[in-house]
Chains A and B, each alone.
Chain A
Amino acid sequence: MTTAAQDAELLARVLDGDHEAFNQIMRNHEDRVFSVCLRIVGEREQALDATQEAFLTAFRKAEQFKGNSALGTWIYRIAVNTCYDLLRKQKRRRTDPIPDHLEPADHAAEDAVDSAGLRPGIQRALALIPEDFRVAVVLSDIEGMALPDVAELLGVPVGTVKSRVFRGRRLLARQLGNQIE
């Protein structure tokens, strides 16, 4: 995790034409951006596309970053918006089984409650809840962001985020319950 000062210095170097600085920014944030995108859009290839698009946008708009938020928050906001655009283009819900290659060996897959066999079911259930609720629970419960940070990223009040998380979990539980039955 980089500090705000480190990110600011890197961004200043990017604006001076230092490509290696942008490479470093990518290395600092690419995993998290990809993770957010994957959980939102639900497919690995599309998540990779969204991740690429997010960094392209960040590079092209680097001059517009005012420093009012952390650089990471700004990049994740771009990523979330990119995912929203992607989902709007699709205009359909995913009901197909997720192929085995979609979730390559994840080093955190040791949980007793949800083995690898169930996690594709969670991703599938996640894809069935409305986008706004999905984004909220992904950022809050999977990425572990505090509600105020999620609110800042999404540009909505904290109360709105709280409501979306609550309702998103409820809908997700219903989808998971349907899968178990």
Chain B
Amino acid sequence: MRDHDLELIVALVEGRLQDEVEARALIASSDEAREEYEAQKLAYESLRSMGAAHLTENERAALHRDVWTELRAGSPIKAKTPWYYRWAPVAAGLFVVIGVAAVLSGGGQEAATTFRDIAADLGGDGDESAAATSTTTAEAADLYSGGDDAGAQAPATDTTQAMTDDTFTPEEMANGGALYAVDAARVREGEFTARLQDYEEESDPAVEACLERAGLTDYRPVATLVPADTTEANFDETIVVSAPEQSVVAEAPLAFVELSTCDVVYLDEVPD
């Protein structure tokens, strides 16, 4: 068939012809044209009948959650931390300076004792633990202060600015964040107290390793959520809920970590 004939057939199928006489005559006069018309019509009407597909609400929430989780995976996770975490590096540095100054000035034993006492209050047992504490808190500062991320693939102007933003609200995670926020509130209200006690009695090495992989070296697990625990959060994996060391769960930021991947899927800011 000529191109003109094919064009006529296609136009007839698509309903674009104001005058169908020529096209109808072509189909009536040629088996080839008729077969082509029927094939084009069958396919065209079948495709048109499919219509556009739509995301379900759960899929939509998961899409937003997963996109932002992935975008943040290449940068330090930013969370709103208690004030004492932000000032801990400064305090640790001051203690070191004071201690060194005291030793150099001849205060010696007394100052060292005082310094050890201070360090002990922080959970350490002397200079070594004080150094470790300062290192730990420095790491915490690095983790939470954002800054450059060598692994980020997003445009620098976007992620760098985003990562220095102190705010991490459920809105940033769209619907997915809002769903997790419900479960965070339940954890804070003590709904999973029994599981909290489980972790306090005996640590789980696999969970500890997962938190470390997730960059949450200064967090401790406080609860484990399985899909059966909630009908509101859109997850189908086991989630470990963690909080900063030495924090009170009801007042602490909570990190939701997917146990199978060790990805941080949600960070809940400190409640008002």
A residues lining the B interface (CB < 8 Å): 14-17, 19-20, 23, 26, 30-32, 34-35, 38-39, 47-48, 51-52, 55-56, 59-63, 104, 106-109, 111, 113-114, 118-119, 122-123, 125-126, 137-138, 141-143, 166, 168-170, 172-174, 176-177
A180 (CB) vs chain B CBs: closest residue: B42
Q: Are B39 and A169 in contact (CB under 8 A)?
A: yes
Query: Cβ of B68: which chain A residues have Cβ within 8 Å of it?
Result: 19
Please report whether the interface of chain A is mostly helix, strand, loop or mixed according to DSSP.
helix
Given contacts A60-B153, A169-B44, contact A35 B52 (CB under 8 A): yes
**How many residues belonging to B are interface residues under a CB distance threshold of 8 Å?**
42
Q: Are A17 and B158 in contact (CB under 8 A)?
A: yes
- Give the Cβ gap from A83 to chain B, nearest Cβ, in Å: 13
Cα distance A105–B195 in the bound complex, in angstroms: 39
**Is B21 in the interface zone, CB < 8 Å from A?**
no
Q: Are B10 and A32 in contact (CB under 8 A)?
A: no
Partner of A106 from B47, B54, B158 at Cβ < 8 Å: B54
**Complex interface bits, B147-172 against A, C-beta within 8 A gives 1, otherwise 0:** 00000011101100110010000011
- Give the Cβ gap from A104 to chain B, nearest Cβ, in Å: 6
Partner of A31 from B55, B155, B165 at Cβ < 8 Å: B55
**Is B43 in the interface zone, CB < 8 Å from A?**
yes
Cα distance A17–B161 in the bound complex, in angstroms: 6
Query: Cβ of A31: which chain B residues have Cβ within 8 Å of it?
Result: 52-55
Query: Cβ of B71: which chain A residues have Cβ within 8 Å of it?
Result: 56, 59
B residues lining the A interface (CB < 8 Å): 6, 10, 36, 38-40, 42-56, 59-60, 62-64, 66-68, 70-71, 153-155, 157-158, 161-162, 165, 171-172, 174
Given contacts A30-B55, A107-B54, A108-B52, contact A142 B47 (CB under 8 A): yes
Q: List 16 A-B contacts (CB under 8 A).
A: A26-B67, A30-B63, A34-B53, A34-B54, A34-B59, A52-B66, A52-B70, A60-B155, A107-B54, A109-B51, A111-B49, A114-B50, A141-B44, A142-B50, A169-B40, A174-B39
Extra 20 A-B pairs, beta carbons < 8 Å, given A52-B63, A52-B67, A173-B40: A19-B68, A19-B162, A19-B172, A20-B172, A23-B64, A23-B174, A26-B64, A31-B54, A34-B54, A48-B62, A59-B154, A108-B52, A119-B49, A137-B43, A142-B50, A169-B44, A170-B39, A173-B39, A174-B39, A176-B43
Q: Are B158 and A59 in contact (CB under 8 A)?
A: yes
- Give the Cβ gap from B179 to chain A, nearest Cβ, in Å: 15
Query: Cβ of B10: which chain A residues have Cβ within 8 Å of it?
Result: 166
Most buried by B among A26, A108, A109, A169: A169
Query: Cβ of B165: which chain A residues have Cβ within 8 Å of it?
Result: 17
Q: Are A35 and B171 in contact (CB under 8 A)?
A: no
Query: Cβ of A56: which chain B residues have Cβ within 8 Å of it?
Result: 67, 70-71
Query: Cβ of A126: which chain B residues have Cβ within 8 Å of it?
Result: 47
Cα distance A31–B174 in the bound complex, in angstroms: 16
Most buried by B among A19, A26, A107, A137: A19
Given contacts A17-B157, A39-B50, A142-B48, contact A104 B174 (CB under 8 A): no
Query: Cβ of B40: which chain A residues have Cβ within 8 Å of it?
Result: 166, 169-170, 173
Cα distance A20–B162 in the bound complex, in angstroms: 11
Q: Are B48 and A141 in contact (CB under 8 A)?
A: yes
Q: Are B155 and A122 in contact (CB under 8 A)?
A: no
Q: Are A51 and B54 in contact (CB under 8 A)?
A: no
Partner of A62 from B44, B49, B158 at Cβ < 8 Å: B158
Query: Cβ of A59: which chain B residues have Cβ within 8 Å of it?
Result: 67, 71, 154, 158
Q: Are A172 and B56 in contact (CB under 8 A)?
A: no
- Give the Cβ gap from A26 to chain B, nearest Cβ, in Å: 7
- Give the Cβ gap from B254 to chain A, nearest Cβ, in Å: 21
Given contacts A119-B49, A169-B44, contact A63 B155 (CB under 8 A): yes
Query: Cβ of A55: which chain B residues have Cβ within 8 Å of it?
Result: 63, 67
A26 (CB) vs chain B CBs: closest residue: B64
Query: Cβ of A109: which chain B residues have Cβ within 8 Å of it?
Result: 51
Q: Are B47 and A30 in contact (CB under 8 A)?
A: no
B55 (CB) vs chain A CBs: closest residue: A34
